[in-house]
Structure 1
């Protein structure tokens, strides 16, 4: 979302003004200190060049004050041809493209199940949206915190931002706002959904931000090996998260469990259904560790009530689309399940850390070829590793955010980002991507309006005689 990429203090225009003032002040100081040595206009021109050279690095290394980065022009260009720092347009375009993809799969996924989220195993177009957002968050953090003046202050700001996202996620996705088929407002706090998309982004953002603030060296990386050495503790943190996730997913014992569903045919007590498990290392919908941890910690009443596995063959006669339950449907088909759960968010944070590495490449390498080469190498490795893991039994499952799923989607994000960077920041095709760039800069508000039912809610507020007689119902939406 756009929130993680905005400058921490002030706006870009304010930054530009302060930079101009600093350059002017610096050049005046140098002119005053060396006034006696200046003899002619040639010396003054040389002195102005020195002032620009001294002030330019200060602009590029603004650190947490701004995500602006220097353009990747050749260092051999004359000074008068060098351009001032610019925003990384390709990152905004990538974010905007992800927003478009999210809106597409939300609105068209019901009509085209092939692009909707995979019912369980496998990968579809919709399954790339969340990893792409997390990848973008990581890249943005690499630019925002490239130089931190005060780690304690930066940590406090990162925690506050994460809390804002968490609260916003609870408000938008906790159930307070009605859906297209439910015109009632409000939510029972005892049944409120606690996790969601923004909550997961907040967790991943906070983990990556703290790693970037506290776990990096002070030296400047001039080679790929030096880059890995500078951020070696961040890679160690990512490895620890992967080990924790894999160990819990395949090592914990999952006992049998029960849940209740309301009886829609009578006013009797809710039905109690039992799910038989008693296994380890199961990655199916019923007996996986991800669901067990969420049921134990969050409570089954606070989980998502329309999980994707209701579109599996076991649970839908219209699979991979929604449909009635088969006569021999297993008991777990009607159980709640949280797709943005606690354990799966651990692996989601690793995607954010991978994006952080791509942001480090932008900061430390100014040549276009170096950047693309250093992006494509890990992207290829992630893709190959993820596909190999899937072949050997660690399946690609978005609902569990498996390690293989993380690898494949992170590799795809790296390739797509490199392609957009080549198209937009190198070849300058900005006119054809201007809409995506605008959407990327306003991603959070677009997400709130388009993906959280805010616009439908506003439209539902205007009806004729009865709430069901609204504009959306007249055109066949929300019936």
Structure 2
């Protein structure tokens, strides 16, 4: 039967909580430094959020697979899940670009919500597994045709993204786990990290010159702009933090999860397991830091040093939670985190979407000007309550987190778990 660890659910919940907070400040100009990504090289607590989730994906693959089985049905199930996650991520970029019949305001929002409902229901309706695969593949192909078929409103829709990277890492890590043992997995992980280091530091960048790790002129940025021009992160336009080449080491993050998942399933004394987890965690942090002297920690490039460093910190958190919860049995405090941890994809997909939906509602501010609802809520309802704009910005993020807690409590109490 499938093995489930309460400590892992708690870590997943903590990761989702952090993601919600750091992605939704009231004012991006006033955010406490630990809640911001590093400007380029370096690593903040916020930079550790996404790799921690990918690390958990790898562990979950092992715990959810009590027996390895390789056949057409299993592979189809993995590919279907990959397409579902990928399609959700791409559709997020499509949402605000849907325009029909010249509609604006709330009528246009209604049209967008109808399309959202159609896509979500089509992807997750409970029907024959073969048709689930066909439907997911069809939605994927339709979106690719819209993105690359010369349609004006979709010609700059973003293709890479957080959910898309999760999908790719899940696909490759799952197939690797089913077809290999932990030694092979470790070797593949090392090869990927060393290979990426070599590509980024040794291969000259066409049109630029020598290999470099600078923003926008490195090999990863060049490849993103070559293969996905116009379909990259809106902030940079010419490169993407979840781009193509940097997905290679991200797979290494998933493989690190596979290795730890195997350790968690091994038949050994729990205290001995904790010791191994702590040794691996401290080793990852130390090796990542040492490697960063030559290959700097960089979340946007997902450098190989960052993979080891981030996995080490994620594992250190898991080891401590495992000892407290699963070894010592102190679990009475965990429900709050579990509530966030059991429906992560709901939060991933809808947390940003809800903000866009709310901003479709226009309100009149005290000066008589019309503005989006979310900026109005922050500027005129929340910010005036605080003398420090940093605290006001954080308060808004916590308010949004509270909204999500209310939504997830309803799902949790009704035993509604939405698995992709």
SS for the counterpart of 1:148 is: coil
Distance 1:175 1:255 in 2: 35
Task: Indicate conservation of the 8 Å contact 1:194/1:302, yes or no.
Answer: yes
2:254 pairs, out of 352, 362, 365, with 352
- Cross-structure match for 2:67: 147
Greater helix content: 2
- Cross-structure match for 2:392: none
- Cross-structure match for 1:158: 78
- Cross-structure match for 1:414: 315
Task: Indicate conservation of the 8 Å contact 1:387/1:404, yes or no.
Answer: yes
Distance 1:153 1:97 in 2: 33
- Cross-structure match for 1:188: 153
Q: Displacement of 1:113 after TM fit? A: 5.0
Q: What aligned pairs does 1:190-339 form with structure 2 within 5 A after superposition?
A: 190-216=155-181, 231-256=182-207, 277-280=208-211, 282-299=212-229, 301-307=230-236, 336-339=238-241
Residue 99 (str. 1) matches residue 16 (str. 2): yes
Summarize the Cα distance change of 1:476–1:289 in structure 2 as closer, same or farther, 3 Å threshold: same
- Cross-structure match for 1:311: none
TM-score normalised by the chain length of structure 1: 0.64
Q: Unpaired runs of 5+ in structure 1?
A: 1-61, 70-86, 217-230, 257-276, 308-334
Q: Displacement of 1:196 after TM fit? A: 0.0
Pair member with larger Rg: 1
Distance 1:107 1:145 in 2: 35
1:428 pairs, out of 329, 335, 352, with 329
Distance 1:305 1:94 in 2: 31
- Cross-structure match for 1:448: 349
Summarize the Cα distance change of 1:467–1:237 in structure 2 as closer, same or farther, 3 Å threshold: farther
Task: Indicate conservation of the 8 Å contact 2:90/2:160, yes or no.
Answer: yes
Distance 1:470 1:288 in 2: 38
Root-mean-square deviation (CA, aligned residues, Å) is: 2.6
2:359 pairs, out of 437, 448, 460, with 460
Larger deviation: 335-344 or 120-129? Answer: 335-344
Distance 1:463 1:137 in 2: 39
Summarize the Cα distance change of 1:339–1:100 in structure 2 as closer, same or farther, 3 Å threshold: same
Distance 2:287 2:69 in 1: 38
Higher relative contact order (CA 8 A, sep 6+): 2
Q: Displacement of 1:341 after TM fit? A: 0.6
Structure 1 consecutive aligned stretches of length 4 or more whose deviation exceeds 3 Å: 149-152, 173-178, 182-187, 460-471, 476-479
Task: Indicate conservation of the 8 Å contact 2:9/2:341, yes or no.
Answer: yes
1:405 pairs, out of 287, 306, 311, with 306
SS for the counterpart of 1:406 is: helix
Q: Displacement of 1:133 after TM fit? A: 0.5
TM-score normalised by the chain length of structure 2: 0.72
Distance 1:370 1:152 in 2: 38
Q: What aligned pairs does 1:108-147 form with structure 2 within 5 A after superposition?
A: 108=25, 110=28, 111-112=30-31, 114-115=33-34, 116-147=36-67
Distance 1:384 1:461 in 2: 47
Q: Unpaired runs of 5+ in structure 2?
A: 99-103, 113-151, 384-420
Summarize the Cα distance change of 1:470–1:390 in structure 2 as closer, same or farther, 3 Å threshold: closer
Q: What aligned pairs does 1:356-367 form with structure 2 within 5 A after superposition?
A: 356-367=258-269
Distance 1:122 1:390 in 2: 9
Task: Indicate conservation of the 8 Å contact 1:96/1:438, yes or no.
Answer: yes
Q: Displacement of 1:370 after TM fit? A: 2.2
Distance 2:263 2:198 in 1: 31
Task: Indicate conservation of the 8 Å contact 1:155/1:213, yes or no.
Answer: no
